[in-house]
């Protein structure tokens, strides 16, 4: 029997800098909006750097636990928090028939 190796790109998740591509894009866009939207000052640059450091570290930790966590979270938002019962209190009760018929 031959043993074949499977290339890592076939089963490893796609990550940019250790996080999901959507999360990396969101981090960069938020930091860019902070720097260029609020003004190009040393305080906003330091705040954006701090934001990128803290948020990116947290997102790397999350991606190490589950690389598709954000996709799972977005999919879970469509699920309901409460599913009402389908029965009715005024519904008709069906007769119960014995599994083994009585002798005739």
Q: Within a domain: residue 11? A: no
Give me the pLDDT at residue 35, please.
Answer: 92
Q: Within a domain: residue 8? A: no
Q: Within a domain: residue 5? A: no
* Residue range of the domain that includes 34: 16-75
For 3, 24, 37, 74, 82, the CA distances from 17, given in Å and listed in that order, are 32, 8, 25, 22, 38
Q: Within a domain: residue 102? A: no
- pLDDT by residue (tens digit) across 46-75? 999 999 999 999 999 999 998 888 888 888
Q: Within a domain: residue 83? A: no
pTM greater than 0.75 (yes/no): no
Q: Within a domain: residue 25? A: yes
Q: Which residues of 70-97 are buried (b: 16+ CB within 10 A; e: fewer)?
A: beeeeeeeeeeeeeeeeeeeeeeeeeee
Is 49:30 a contact under the CB 8 Å cutoff?
A: no
Q: Within a domain: residue 54? A: yes
Q: Within a domain: residue 44? A: yes
Give me the pLDDT at residue 20, please.
Answer: 92
The total domain count for the chain is 1
């Amino acid at each position: 029997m031959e043993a074949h190796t499977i290339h890592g790109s076939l089963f490893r998740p796609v990550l940019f800098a250790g996080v999901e591509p959507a999360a990396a894009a969101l981090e960069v866009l938020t930091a860019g909006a902070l720097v260029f939207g609020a003004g190009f000052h040393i305080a906003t640059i330091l705040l954006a750097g701090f934001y990128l450091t803290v948020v990116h570290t947290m997102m790397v930790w999350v991606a190490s636990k589950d690389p598709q966590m954000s996709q799972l979270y977005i999919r879970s938002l469509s699920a309901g928090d409460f599913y009402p019962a389908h029965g009715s209190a005024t519904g008709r009760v069906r007769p119960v028939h014995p599994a083994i018929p009585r002798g005739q």
